[in-house]
Amino acid sequence: MDKLFIIKIGGNIIDDEKKLLSFLKAFASIEGNKVLVHGGGKLATKMAEQMNVPQQVVEGRRITDGETLKIVTMVYAGYINKNIVAKLQMNNCNAIGLCGADGDAILAHKRKHAVIDYGYVGDVDGINAGLISNLLEKNLTPVFAPITHDQEGQLLNTNADTIAQELAKGMSNDFEVQLIYSFEKAGVLLDAEDDATVIPVIIPSYYKKLKAEEKIFAGMIPKLDNAFAALNSGVKKVIIGKAENLKELIAGKSGTSITNE
């Protein structure tokens, strides 16, 4: 079975042109099959301020009203996505920029919540593995913006971590998938302020223990829950670590490896 790397690049790196360039150069040099999923960084918030569109965040999640949906689609699926694609082409990586609506790549439905109306926020129903496999066979590297659709003409703003996880799960029947969450931290840390406290390997029993002892800071728990959900759906390995260390992450010499073994 061929290997496939699905790599998510976090928001803070997208806001730093120098770090983003360095990351994309390392990403372009990865041999074999790869897919990049990117977040939106702070640009959408900045644009909303400039356009006087008030932003509401509940429990760390952006409420996406009609005007905000227009902004995030323009910023994520437009400027950021095409900027990344152009930089990858510059590094001899033949990339193709997509959102969930392109080629019916990622299907979603509008999130239903008992108390909070998240607006046009999508939860993923499935991915078009055949389309992605065809692109990879043609030596194209898909670059996904975090916008999906519901097949009824409605675009939806969707969490990029979740998109990466769903792509990894959906592709694991045809490939040996490694899912990499790369962001500004060195990995899963025992002390959120100290990069020297990276936990090199987390297995389910150790994760349970860390949670029970409250040794994992709250912001990391959704990422780890996603990681174990991916492993339980056929993904080979999940790695969390610093975007600048991408090559070391892939080689298993850096970051946190999350595995069922």
- Express each pLDDT in 218-247 by its tens digit: 778 888 888 998 999 999 999 999 999 999
Token reading at 51: 């356009």
Task: Give the pLDDT score at 118.
Answer: 94
State the pLDDT confidence band at 185, using cuts at 50, 70 and 90. Answer: confident
Identify the weakest region by mean pLDDT among 27-41, 56-70, 78-92, 132-146.
56-70
Position 60 pLDDT exceeds 80: no
| Distance (Å, whole) CA 182 – CA 193 | 17
Domain ranges of the chain: 3-183
State the pLDDT confidence band at 144, using cuts at 50, 70 and 90. Answer: very high
State the pLDDT confidence band at 109, using cuts at 50, 70 and 90. Answer: very high
Sheet with 155-157, side-by-side order of all strands: 122-127, 106-110, 147-149, 155-157
Counting every residue written for the chain, the total comes to 261
Residue holding tokens 């992450």? 249
Token reading at 36: 């990049």
| Distance (Å, whole) CA 251 – CA 245 | 10
Task: Give the pLDDT score at 6.
Answer: 98
* DSSP-derived pairing of the beta strands 155-157 and 33-38: unpaired
Query: Where are any strands of DSSP class E within 99-190?
Result: 106-110, 122-127, 141-144, 147-149, 155-157, 176-183
Task: Give the pLDDT score at 62.
Answer: 83
Q: What is the pLDDT averaged over residues 131-151? A: 98
Specify whether the CB–CB gap between 176 and 3 falls below 8 A: yes
Position 184 pLDDT exceeds 90: no
Q: What is the pLDDT averaged over residues 77-89? A: 97
Half-sphere CA count of 152, side-chain side, radius 13 A: 5
From the candidate CATH numbers 3.40.50.10740, 3.30.70.1450, 2.40.10.340, 3.40.1160.10, the one assigned to the domain spanning 3-183: 3.40.1160.10
Identify the weakest region by mean pLDDT among 113-127, 159-173, 183-197.
183-197
Specify whether the CB–CB gap between 28 and 88 falls below 8 A: yes
Specify whether the CB–CB gap between 144 and 59 falls below 8 A: no
Task: Give the pLDDT score at 223.
Answer: 81
Position 210 pLDDT exceeds 80: yes
| Distance (Å, whole) CA 54 – CA 48 | 7
Task: Give the pLDDT score at 63.
Answer: 92
Backbone angles phi, psi at 18, to 5 degrees: -65, -45
